[in-house]
Every structure is written in structure tokens, then in C-alpha cells.
Structure 1
Amino acid sequence: MLSEHYELIETIGLNLCLAGLFILMTYAVYDILKKNNVPLLGKIVVYFVLFLGAAGFIFKGIMQLFVGE
């Protein structure tokens, strides 16, 4: 049974690891911005760029569902 669902398990594991990585990166960025007293505009730009990176992976996952690669 495990060998039949190997690809699904691998996909779920990869997605969970990427989500964890983005959560850890967000925390690291938050800590750095807090320690360096970055102005609000700088924080918005940094979080927006981080969101764009995460959105790319989310969009890729959605496209794989619809295209059926």
C-alpha cells in the first residue's frame, strides 16, 4: 500500500516542508526587522517580497492540480 501512494506522500511532505520553511523565514525576518528598528515602509516591502516568494509556490501547486502533471 505504501508503494502505491509513494508519490502522494512525497508531495504532501514536500509541501509541508516548504510551508515550514516559509514560516521559519518569516520569523527570522520579523526578528531582524524588530532588532534593527526598520520603518513601516521597509517592513511592508520586505513582507511583500516574502509573500511573493510564497505565492509562487502556492500558484505552482494550484497549477499542478489543474494541469494534472
Structure 2
Amino acid sequence: MLYEHMDLLESVGLDLLFAAIFFFIGMAIKDVLKQGNVPPFGRKIVWLVLFLGCFGFISKGVIQMTMEGVGIG
């Protein structure tokens, strides 16, 4: 593996790791909500908060890539 590709490989690997962590967090929350007999409104609030966290993380990555591409960061 050439050294100039190691940075790309690390970046992709880290992104996949975070995606896997978000997936497992979602599965754990689904299990807790099912076992806790949470009402539907509470489930929707929990999933909304989880989605907003994921959306914020993805937005941060897109903004960071855009700023680095322009040369600001």
C-alpha cells in the first residue's frame, strides 16, 4: 500500500467505524424502547433526537470537507 493512499484509507475507515457505531446505538435504543414499553410519542421523540445527532455529525463532515476544499480550514 502506498503511503499517499494511507490518509484516504484512514479517513474511509474512520467514517465506516462511526457509521457502524451509529447503527449499533440505534439497535440498542430500539431494544430498550421495545422492552420498556415506551408509548409511541416517546419513541418518536427518541428517534428524532437520534436522527438529529446523526444529521449534525454528517453536516459537520460536509462543512469541514467544503471548507478544506476552498482552503479556509
Q: Same fold (TM over 0.5)?
A: yes
Match of 2:61 in 1: 61
Give the TM-score normalised by the residue count of structure 1.
Answer: 0.90
- In structure 1, list runs of 5 or more residues that go unmatched: none
Match of 1:29 in 2: 29
CA–CA distance in structure 2, aligned partners of residues 31 and 41 of structure 1: 16
CA–CA distance in structure 2, aligned partners of residues 56 and 4 of structure 1: 30
Q: Deviations over 1:2-56 (max 9, x none)?
A: 2101111111011000000000000000000001110011001111111111111
CA-based RMSD of the aligned residues comes to 1.2
Match of 2:17 in 1: 17
Query: Percent identical across equivalent pairs?
Result: 45
Count matched residues. Answer: 69
Give the TM-score normalised by the residue count of structure 2.
Answer: 0.86
Name segments (4+ residues, structure 1) moved above 2 Å: none
**Matching residue's letter, 2:56:** G
CA–CA distance in structure 1, aligned partners of residues 4 and 19 of structure 2: 25
CA–CA distance in structure 2, aligned partners of residues 21 and 60 of structure 1: 17
- In structure 2, list runs of 5 or more residues that go unmatched: none
Greater gyration radius: 2
